[in-house]
Amino acid sequence: MNSLPVIAIVEDDDALRAALCETAELAGLRVLAFADGTACLRGLENTAVDLVISDLQMAPMDGLTLLRELRRRQRTLPFVLMTAYGTIQSAIDAMRLGATDYLVKPFEAEVLFAGLDHWLPKPVAVLGGRDMLAADPLTLRVLELARRVATSDATVLITGESGVGKEVFFRFIHQHSSRAAREPIAINCAAIPENMLEAILFGHEKGAFTGAYKAYPGKFEQAQGSSLLLDEVSEMSLPLQAKLLRVLQERVVERLGGQDLIKLDVRVVATSNRDLVGEVRAGRFREDLYYRLNVFPLVVPPLRQRPADIVPLARFLLARTAAHSHTSAPNLSAGAAAALTAWRWPGNVRELDNIMQRALVIHSGAIVEAQDLLFEPGVLGHQLPAAPSAEEFAAPEDAQDSLGDGLRDHERRLILEALEEGHGSRKYVAEKLGISPRTLRYKLAKLRESGVEVPGQ
């Protein structure tokens, strides 16, 4: 497994070194800090790094000497030199010596963020796909467990809050299993009416019930030779849980209205956002089924517990949304990254995806700023901690005070456009904007109070 990228920052100015370290940490990186070139060389004797960012003028060892020494040890290690405007020629000389790039002081945090994307390899990207990023050590540990269990046929129970990415982990397990050549099958047990779920799971013969005009293979049969996801399995009724238990124990399925037993070769993965032990104690979930499913438990932590994933995920989701919209993906400012890291993420990755979609609509230019982040209560950016400690990274106070009206205008326009698209449907607007119906009702009431004509009732 890969781990977090590690960078070394070499700077003799204490305040600037601290600010650079905080900015790099907001980008989801591990940072080693050194006050001069000599200390850096000693520190890197037994520690591997992915990038060195060094000041030019330092004592007792300056940046050029450090570059020469590191090039003797690692010819391909990315090295970026920071220099003042008056010494740009020295930076150009450093490029001839093998430096990767240079930064001219003073520079904004956004310049560093943008540079890191070029100088460093991307964070761990997995999943037979492009839909999963793992950068936080906690996520990486869970991912390693998923990779190990994928090589077996053990039944897996994935638990975690809504929106953490349980289905993404299921697809990761499938893609790393011996069944990867076949398409996995998934069924959301919470989204299908109880009287239909049994027939969809196990299949039915022609005439098994009113409306069964032809035979239908259930999800278990469709998943033969592949993997089957029982999403939100805790939503099943107790009678259906008993039937599922039999299928899992016997590894055979019988269609509704049929008599033949069909042997199964299916790898089963189940998910739940509930405390299943509590559900068993409350009598809402069968204890024997719980143990049958919980052969290998996998707990996906909430996003707030894996902060190093937040900024890399935000960038990925921005890029994915931009690609769908056929536009260029903007960068995140230091303030925006700080705001994202500070948020508690009650809706987890699903909420982050919503916010990135909104930010792509709201932002202007090539940078997503803190004020472009529309968090769940509908308040833009007010939850921000201060950006990195260097004063130049913080927004001026008068700019903060002037945000309100402009941001409210953005929000009002988003709501009215969604109402028009949805032909006045409040449900459509709430789902599109990722806010609760209660929050939407409150905002519509405020719009009416301010004299805005709200379409529909």
The reply to whether 367 and 396 lie within a common domain is: yes
Residue 224 is encoded by which pair of tokens? 């033969």
Q: What is the CATH number of the domain that holds 212?
A: 3.40.50.300
Q: What is the pLDDT of residue 273?
A: 94
Q: Dihedral through CA 77, CA 81, CA 82, CA 85, nearest 10?
A: -160
The reply to whether 158 and 285 lie within a common domain is: yes
Q: What is the pLDDT of residue 394?
A: 34
Q: What is the pLDDT of residue 393?
A: 33
The reply to whether 113 and 168 lie within a common domain is: no
Is residue 1 domain-resident?
A: no
Tell me the three state secondary structure of residue 91: helix
* pLDDT digits 0-9 by tens, 196-247: 888 889 988 888 877 777 888 999 999 999 999 999 999 999 999 999 999 9
| Whole-prediction pTM | 0.60
Is residue 440 domain-resident?
A: yes
H runs (alpha helix) in 300-422: 310-324, 334-342, 348-362, 397-401, 403-421
DSSP state of 309: G
DSSP state of 122: P
Q: What is the pLDDT of residue 131?
A: 45
The reply to whether 203 and 286 lie within a common domain is: yes
Is residue 131 domain-resident?
A: no
Is residue 389 domain-resident?
A: yes
Tell me the three state secondary structure of residue 41: helix
The reply to whether 293 and 147 lie within a common domain is: yes
The reply to whether 295 and 327 lie within a common domain is: no
Nearest to 268 by CA among 292, 243, 298: 292
The reply to whether 231 and 324 lie within a common domain is: no
The reply to whether 329 and 200 lie within a common domain is: no
The reply to whether 184 and 54 lie within a common domain is: no
The residues of the chain scoring below 70 in pLDDT are 1-4, 75-76, 85-92, 117, 121-132, 376-411, 434-439, 442, 456-457
Q: What is the pLDDT of residue 150?
A: 94
Is residue 456 domain-resident?
A: no
Q: What is the pLDDT of residue 384?
A: 37
Domain limits for position 275: 137-299
176-202 burial, b at 16+ Cβ within 10 Å, e below that, comes to: bbebbeeebbbbebeeeeeeebbbbbb
The reply to whether 277 and 325 lie within a common domain is: no
Looking at 236, 266, 299, the residue that finishes a domain is 299
**CA pair distance 415, 409, nearest whole angstrom:** 10
Looking at 299, 326, 356, the residue that finishes a domain is 299
Is residue 125 domain-resident?
A: no
Is residue 113 domain-resident?
A: yes
* Cβ atoms of 80 and 119 closer than 8 Å: yes
Looking at 86, 119, 152, the residue that finishes a domain is 119
Angle at which helices 437-449 and 403-421 pack, to 10 degrees? 110
Domains in the chain, number: 3
Q: What is the CATH number of the domain that holds 425?
A: 1.10.8.60
Is residue 127 domain-resident?
A: no
Residue 3 is encoded by which pair of tokens? 């781990």
The reply to whether 173 and 257 lie within a common domain is: yes
What is the DSSP pairing of strand 79-84 with strand 30-34?
Answer: unpaired
**CA pair distance 333, 366, nearest whole angstrom:** 10
The reply to whether 345 and 415 lie within a common domain is: yes
Q: What is the CATH number of the domain that holds 70?
A: 3.40.50.2300
* Residue position matching structure tokens 């799971």: 201
The HSE-up count of residue 209 (CA atoms within 13 Å, CB side) is 10
